[in-house]
Chains A and B, each alone.
Chain A
Amino acid sequence: MKILRDHAILGAVAVFLIAFPFLIALLDGQSIGAMLAGQSGNSKFYQGLLIEIFILAIFAISYDLLFGITGLLSFGHAMFFSVGAYTAGIALKSLKLPLPETLVLVVFAGVAQALLFSIVLPRVKGITFALVTLGFASVFHIVIMSHELNDWAGGDVGLQNIPKPALLDPANQRLTFYFVALALMLLVYLFYRRFVDSPTGRVCSAIRENEHRAQMLGFNTFYFKLAALIVSGITAALGGALHALYQPIVSPTSASLGYTVNALLIILIGGVGTLSGALVGAAAFRLLQFYLDKLFGESSSFILGVVYVALVLFLPYGIIGTWRAKKLEWRAAWQARWRAWSAARPRGK
């Protein structure tokens, strides 16, 4: 019953998101044909905004698996994303590989950095792990900006002029790109749900609650943390590849601490360890950023800071987390109200 309801919500959201470009086009008075042909307009613009949200959501959900589910606090998660983006960009541009081979390479890069992070896992825990991963990511950030790698990575400007595959060109084939990004996000979400509910995922949750107890139960926690790292690494790298395909430029800031902090903020806004919180949080985060910038211009970051503080105070466990905690309470309150109302209503015909 519960599974059905969960998926009902997901299904409704998916249907809405599939219909969304067409709805906007209709509202805007743009013909569906023109929209399908990728002509500019509100629909194309909002598709672009949503694509950014999908990519952010993929990035954030991979962070949620690591931090929210397994309890590994990493301050270097942006590197997972950035390596994916740079690998895809360099493979397409400098190595002139076709897209499928590029994606294989991206997956390998994701696994490779998960292995790199896992080397330090047995040595350092908690906040120290976070700082070591921050060290890795910052070194990568600095290396990618260095002059020596200018021809490959584009220095501190970033990687530009990545050749886009004709079928997935965000300029001409925006709608296709939109559906691909949406599909990837939904697939990632469903896979993560399955992973978290699987025995492996349960052990990961147990590690977050109390690693010592998980060890006492006979689990070698290292392998489970490694599994979470690898899944998370591949997902983030794929998100990064999508980013490289979509954006005109891959900036080295995508490896900076600020980018990791974005992922952290997204899952805090959505609700830590809820998975769906990452999707909701990504939407809330990007839309807040976008509309606050539009409305307040210069002072938008001030308002954003105020919003963060307000969220912490009034949505104590993020959107999804607070919703889950209060759902029963609210439902009971509404039922009581409904009963009182129906009791007060005169009966009979």
Chain B
Amino acid sequence: MTTIIGTIRKNRTQTITLAALILSFLLAIQGMETGDWIITILRGLSVAAVTFLVASGFSLIFGLMDVLNLAHGTLFMIGAYVGWTAYVRPDTLLDLATPAALFFAGLLLLPLWDRWLSRVRLAPQAARGLPWLALALGVGALAFGFARYPITGWDVTVYDKSPVVFGVQLDLGQLDLPAPAIVGAEQLGVSMLCLFAGGGLIALGLTLLESRNRIAAATTRVPWRALLLALGLALGGLALFAWNDALTAFLVAAGTTWRFLIAVIVATLVGAGLGALMESTLIRPLYTRPIYQLMLTLGLGVIGREVVIALWGRTQMQMPKPALFNTIGQGCPAQTIFDALANQCSTISFMGSRIRTYNEIFIFIVGVIVLIVVWLLLQRTRIGMIIRAGVQDRAMVEALGINVRQVFTFVFALGVGLAALGGVLAGPSMGVSDDMGESLLLSALIALAIGGLTSFPGAAAGSLLVGLLQQFIVKYGQIGIALPFLEQPFKPTPPLVPASTLLLMVIILLALPNGLFGRKE
């Protein structure tokens, strides 16, 4: 008991702020009918979950590496687009899998080059030019090979074949996939070889670049594991190609629920890969000039968005909900969650209001699962321990002999992967559009500022507050608030939704400059 009072006394401002928040929450509930506030809270939780997925990744990256990743919103959006592709167009996904596998198999030759380089001495002139030559050749081979590889996709310029149309078709249950493109065996062989060689050349370029900064020779054991993995990847890619048609048919027949699961996994992995790539190539040279990271991530954000517009077109696309959450007919709306799962209902009726199973329940549950998994990762694993230590004192972690560069790449991959996961989850509820990332990044930033920029529980608490506040304002915009001294009930206009969260952020930051859970520095 005394310890509780002691804690409260020590954190007086925190306590007052929390009490004020709870009080205003109760007041907000008071002004509504029971069904209304339940649905509002559920919606708030769902928005909070998506915000949390973006915010937590952002905060991990900022905490460990001090990088404000302004491209995070764009990466969230890319997650949605990639997920959409895996979900609506499984044939395109499979077509792309083979080139990707071949390219990564080539990249995995990196340790082999490393070994080779440790035996060769390059003249200084060669050491300056060669890496760039190898990189340029690699990118060239990649582009050459990719352009010649048969991929069945869509055509943004033709309405019948645009991504929008495929989304609508799937929603109506009449998805009509185009016939696969066919090319000659010779072209195919050249293309595959180029893709593999491109990966290998890029790996060579990277090794050469890296070797300029190294003084002592590296270890010289034959990297069997990497080579076996490369072989496996290449064979896997070829197998995917051989059974492409059968696999496509299988995926189409598997139904939207399974495909959605695949989409979630693919989007998360692609996001993680993009994050790792960004960190290891572009962000890494900039740790010594942090301000320019802002410009870099801004530039990358713009590039990403433009690439998405070029590939998928400018209009908003539909991403139908998976079948598990999309039936209206018999037995729906369900009375309990189990009924909903059994009948695959899209809604549950609860206290007189209808709750959407996907939007209000599924997204929130995924958010909670991610919260728990990442929390366990941080608290229970060695890498989590290193991350927690590194957030406080990066230099000391290095001085203990821990290769922080690998940890940085891992955390970047994790953070971006979480954002991409948020994107694909938000797809069916928010719709997929090229501007979906911006407002969410702002919400996430506000949530982080409220919770404490580098605190993981803070990210969760901040997202919760932002989500709830937004949804309460939206709801009050519909039903109006009865205020004293006003004849008419006051209806908040839509611009007040972002304004309210911003005001909450300013107030909380002025009361607690490090946020609710932040630590004084």
Residues in A lying within 8 Å of B, measured CB to CB = 120, 123-125, 127-128, 131-132, 134-136, 138-139, 142-143, 145-147, 257, 261, 264-265, 268-269, 272, 299, 301-302, 304-309, 311-313, 316-317
Query: CB distance A309 to B306 under 8 Å?
Result: no
Closest to A265 in B: B295
On whether A131 and B295 interact (CB within 8 A), knowing A125-B513, A142-B495, the answer reads: no
Q: CB within 8 Å of A: which of B167-190?
A: none
Cα-based distance from A265 to B442 in the complex (angstroms): 19
Q: Which residue of chain B is the closest to A272 with respect to CB atoms?
A: B291
- Which 9 residue pairs across A and B have the least CB separation, nearest first? A308-B299, A305-B302, A302-B306, A305-B303, A135-B506, A309-B299, A142-B499, A131-B449, A135-B502
Say whether A128 contacts B294, CB under 8 Å: no
Separation in Å of the B520 CB from the closest CB of chain A?
A: 11
* Given A131-B449, A268-B294, A317-B289, A138:B498 Cβ within 8 A: yes
Instruction: Please give 5 more A-B residue pairs, beta carbons under 8 A apart, in addition to A124-B513, A301-B302, A302-B307.
Output: A124-B509, A128-B514, A143-B499, A268-B295, A306-B299
| Known contacts A272-B291, A299-B306, A313-B285, A139 near B296 by CB under 8 Å | no
Contacting A305 at CB < 8 Å: which of B68, B299, B310, B493? B299
Q: Does B300 contact A (CB under 8 A)?
A: yes
User: Considering the chains assembled together, what is the distance between the CA atoms of A301 and B499 in angstroms?
Assistant: 29
> From residue 448 to 477 of chain B, which have CB atoms closer than 8 A to chain A?
449, 453
Q: Indicate if B262 sits at the interface (CB-CB under 8 A).
A: no
Does B286 belong to the interface (CB within 8 Å)? Answer: yes
Total interface residues on B, CB under 8 Å, equals: 38
Contacts of B449 in A (CB 8 A): 128, 131
Residues on B with beta carbons closer than 8 Å to the beta carbon of A265: 295, 298
In the complex the two chains form, is B298's CB within 8 Å of A124's CB?
no
Q: What 0/1 pattern do residues 476 to 499 of B give for CB contact below 8 A with A? A: 000000000000000001011011
Q: Is the CB of B286 within 8 A of A123?
A: no
The reply on B123 being an interface residue by CB < 8 A is no
Among residues of A, the one whose C-beta sits closest to the C-beta of B452 is: A128
Complex interface: chain B residues within 8 A of A313 (CB): 282, 285
Minimum CB distance partner of A120 in chain B: B510
Interface check B445, CB cutoff 8 A: yes
Partner of B299, one of A127, A131, A312: A312
Q: Which of B284-325 contact A (CB under 8 A)?
A: 285-286, 289, 291-292, 294-296, 298-303, 305-307, 310
A302 → chain B, closest Cβ, in Å? 4
A125 contact set on B, CB distance < 8 A: 513
| Identity of the chain A residue whose Cβ is nearest the Cβ of B71 in the assembled complex | A305
Docked CA distance A264–B442 (Å): 18
Q: Are A146 and B498 in contact (CB under 8 A)?
A: no
CB distance from B291 to the nearest CB of A (A): 6
Inter-chain contact A302/B310, CB cutoff 8 Å: yes
Chain A contact residues, majority secondary structure: helix
The reply on B21 being an interface residue by CB < 8 A is no
A312 with B286: in contact, given A142-B495, A146-B495, A147-B493 (CB under 8 Å)? yes
Nearest to B507 among chain A residues (CB) is: A135
Contact A132 B298 (CB under 8 A): no
B70-109 with Cβ < 8 A to chain A: none
In the complex, are the beta carbons of B307 and A312 less than 8 A apart?
A: no
Q: How far is the CA of A54 from the CA of B277 in the complex (A)?
A: 39
Q: How close is A319's CB to chain B, nearest CB, in angstroms?
A: 13
With known contacts A299-B306, A301-B302, A139–B502 Cβ distance under 8 A: yes
Residue in B68, B296, B513 whose beta carbon sits within 8 Å of that of A123 in the complex: B513
- Rounded to whole Å, the gap between the CB of A292 and the closest CB of chain B is 12
Nearest CB on B from A138, distance (A): 5
Q: Which residues of A contact B294 (CB under 8 A)?
A: 264, 268
Docked complex Cα distance between A306 and B301 (Å): 10
B446 contacts which chain A residues (CB < 8 A)? 131
A132 touches B510 (CB 8 A): yes
The residue of chain A having its C-beta at the shortest distance from the C-beta of B293 within the complex is A312
Which of B292, B300, B505, B509 is in CB contact (< 8 Å) with A268? B292
A–B complex contacts, Cβ < 8 Å, 7 sampled = A131-B445, A135-B509, A146-B495, A264-B294, A269-B295, A308-B295, A311-B295
B239 CB-CB contact with A under 8 Å: no
Is residue B503 contacting chain A, with contact meaning CB distance below 8 A?
A: yes
Which residue of the partner chain, among A132, A268, A305, A311, contacts B306 with CB atoms under 8 Å? A305
Minimum CB–CB distance from B205 to chain A (whole Å) comes to 15
Give the residue of A131, A146, A268, A306 whose beta carbon is less than 8 angstroms from that of B303: A306
Closest to A131 in B: B449
Docked-complex contact B282 and A309, CB < 8 angstroms: yes
Q: Quick check: A132 and B509 within 8 Å, CB to CB?
A: yes
Instruction: Output the least CB separation between A311 and chain B (Å).
Output: 7
Are A146 and B298 CB-contacts (below 8 A) given A138-B499, A268-B291? no
Please judge, given known A-B contacts A302-B303, A305-B306, whether A124 and B296 are in contact too, CB under 8 Å: no
Q: Are A128 and B513 interface neighbours, CB within 8 A?
A: yes
Closest CB-CB distance, A268 to chain B, in whole Å?
5
A120 to B509, CA, bound (A): 9
Most buried by A among B300, B499, B503: B499
Nearest-CB residue, chain A, relative to B307: A302
- For the complex formed, measure the closest distance between the CB of B336 and the CB atoms of chain A, giving whole angstroms: 42
Complex interface: chain A residues within 8 A of B498 (CB) = 138, 142
B298 touches A308 (CB 8 A): yes
Chain A residues with Cβ under 8 A from B68's Cβ?
127
Residues of B within 8 A of A312 (CB): 286, 292, 295-296, 299
Contacts of A135 in B (CB 8 A): 502-503, 505-506, 509
Query: Which B residues touch A147, using CB under 8 A?
Result: 493
Q: In the complex, A265 Cα to B285 Cα: how many Å?
A: 19
Q: Once the chains bind, are B300 and A305 in contact (CB under 8 Å)?
A: yes
**A136 and B506 contact, Cβ closer than 8 Å, known pairs A123-B513, A317-B289:** yes
Using Cβ atoms and an 8 Å threshold, which residues of chain B touch A301? 302, 305-306
CB distance from A152 to the nearest CB of B (A): 16
In Å, the complex CA distance between A259 and B3 comes to 49
Given contacts A123-B513, A146-B495, A302-B303, contact A139 B503 (CB under 8 A): yes
Docked Cα-Cα span, A265 to B499, in Å, equals 26
Q: Which residue of chain B has the shortest Cβ distance to A303 in the bound complex?
A: B306
Chain A residues in 8 Å Cβ range of B289: 316-317
Write the chain B residue with the least CB distance to A269: B295
Q: How far is the CB of A69 from chain B (nearest CB, A)?
A: 13
CB-based contact A128/B509 at 8 Å: yes
Residues on B with C-beta less than 8 A from A138 are 498-499, 502
Q: Which residue of A lies closest to B453 (CB)?
A: A127
How far apart sit A125 and B520, CA to CA, in the bound complex (Å)? 11
B303, B442, B499: the one within 8 Å of A139 (CB): B499
Contacts of A132 in B (CB 8 A): 505-506, 509-510
Closest to A267 in B: B291
Chain B: which residue is nearest A304 at the CB level? B302
Q: List B residues 145-177 near A (Cβ within 8 Å).
A: none
Which among A125, A134, A299 has the highest number of chain B CB atoms within 10 Å? A134
* Nearest-Cβ distance from residue A258 to partner chain B, whole angstroms: 10
Interchain CA distance A311-B427 in the complex, whole Å: 34
A301 to B493 Cα, complex, angstroms? 32
Report the separation of the CA atoms of residues A299 and B314 in the bound assembly, to the nearest whole angstrom: 12
- Residues of A contacting B295 in the complex (Cβ-Cβ under 8 angstroms): 264-265, 268-269, 308, 311-312
